[in-house]
Each structure stands twice: as C-alpha cells, then as structure tokens.
Amino acid sequence: EAQVTQNPRYLITVTGKKLTVTCSQNMNHEYMSWYRQDPGLGLRQIYYSMNVEVTDKGDVPEGYKVSRKEKRNFPLILESPSPNQTSLYFCASSSTGTDLGTQHFGDGTRLSIL
Amino acid sequence: DQQVKQNSPSLSVQEGRISILNCDYTNSMFDYFLWYKKYPAEGPTFLISISSIKDKNEDGRFTVFLNKSAKHLSLHIVPSQPGDSAVYFCAARDNAAGGTSYGKLTFGQGTILTVHP
C-alpha cells in the first residue's frame, strides 16, 4: 500500500528539548515536504526537498531543520522547540515533473511544546 | 502576506445542491493550482488540479474553474453529498522552473464544507 508514515503521531514535550519527527514514504518519490497546520492559517510549508541532498526553505522555516540523506526519509528536527511551534505537522511526498503538487500526505503529528 | 486566500471559513449546503468553494491568489508566478480535501484526524488528499493554460477541469462531480485575469479559482461540487463534508484547501504551485521557488506549494486557509442530508 502506497503511504507516507509519520512518527510519532502525538508528542507532548518541554521547551528546549530537541525532538525529531520522522517521515518515510514507500512510493520512490523524489519530492518530499513538511507543513504545519494552524487555525486560521491553513497549511504552511516549512521545508521541501526535490531529491536526495537537496532541500529548500518554504514559507516558515525558522526553528526547523531537515535532512534528506535517503530518498524515502525526510525527518523534521526541532533543535530547541518553543511553544509557538505547537502545531499539527504533515509530511507529504510526490513525484516530480507534472505531478509535482499532487502530493500524498501522512496522517499528521500533533506536537505540544510546554 | 497571504498569497492564497480562501475568504469563506465555512459553507453549508443541502444534499443534492451545488457547492461552490472559492479561492483568490496574488502571485502571478503561480501556474498550477490544486484542491485538497481533509477529513478530521487524516492528512489532506488530492482532489483535482488545473494548469494555468486551462480555464476548466472536470472530474466526475468535481469541476475546477480558473480565471487568470481575476486571479480566482473555484471548485464546484455537483451534486453535493454528505460524504463531501470536510475541509477544502486550495493550493498553488510556484513553478518558476530553475528558480529557487520551484517546488514551493502555497495553501489557503481552508473552507469547512458541511453538506446536510
């Protein structure tokens, strides 16, 4: 089954404690992306990756890091989380070319930073 | 500055009637537009898309219209069904191929559609 898997699904943690949200896809997609969803703001892109070792900033990259060492994985790293990063996070993937944009999304990770 | 705007936070329609969801954008570099549907506790799922070289794309009950001069797109659902009740996001792709924005996808705030039986 084609899918994008995020872990954990829920996490409550404290300010300043480094955390990583993993994302893995089994569709051999070149493109992967991270979004956060906040009330009234919709989905905002954090980082995206066009292929292995290629990453670019989205609209809200501050406070986040990503890496793309393997095609299937695209972890999101919060080095020093703060309460304003409390949000619902989605990872997505797609092929490139004309299909870029018709992304497959994971089911989300709800982060609470106290 | 919100480059993609869905100005209606919610829409309520009767089963069998038409649902029209609207989206406005400001960036003239957007050349590919998409609609996603999202149910609670799930990730968004792709619904339908349209290239800027077209003004209409149809897929079953779903039709997307694009008015480039007005920088406006809309999603029509006919007939609406209770199972269509969800949050709908429009999104735009900044397809400046070779530019630093290639691969950026900008979403609107979403519209909650409720279809009553």
Rounded to 5 degrees, φ, ψ at A112 are -120, 120
Does the beta-carbon distance from B44 to A56 stay under 8 Å? no
The pLDDT value given to residue B11: 97
pLDDT digits (tens, 9 = 90+) for B16-48: 999 999 999 998 888 889 999 999 989 999 999
The band of B89, judged by pLDDT with boundaries at 50, 70 and 90, is very high
pLDDT digits (tens, 9 = 90+) for A74-107: 999 999 999 999 999 999 999 876 666 788 999 9
The partner residues of A105 in beta bridges, in order of sequence, read: A92
End-to-end CA distance of chain A: 36
pLDDT digits (tens, 9 = 90+) for B50-77: 998 999 999 999 999 999 999 999 999 9
**Touching B: A residues 38-77, CB under 8 Å:** 40-45, 48, 50, 56, 58-59
b/e code B92-113 from CB counts within 10 Å (16+ = b): bbbbeeeeebbbbbbbbbbbeb
Q: What is the mean pLDDT of residues B103-110?
A: 89
Q: Which of B4, B49, B109 sits opposite A40 (nearest CB)?
A: B109
Count the alpha carbons within 13 Å of B115 in the hemisphere toward its beta carbon.
19
Average pLDDT in chain B: 92
3-state secondary structure B17-77: CCEEEEEEECCCCEEEEEEEEECCCCCCEEEEEEECCCCEEEECCEEEEEECCCCEEEEEE
Asked whether residue B98 carries a pLDDT value surpassing 60, the answer given is: no
Rounded CA-CA distance A47/A33 in Å is: 6
Does the beta-carbon distance from A108 to B107 stay under 8 Å? no
Count the alpha carbons within 13 Å of B73 in the hemisphere toward its beta carbon.
31
Residue ranges of chain A with per-residue pLDDT less than 50: none
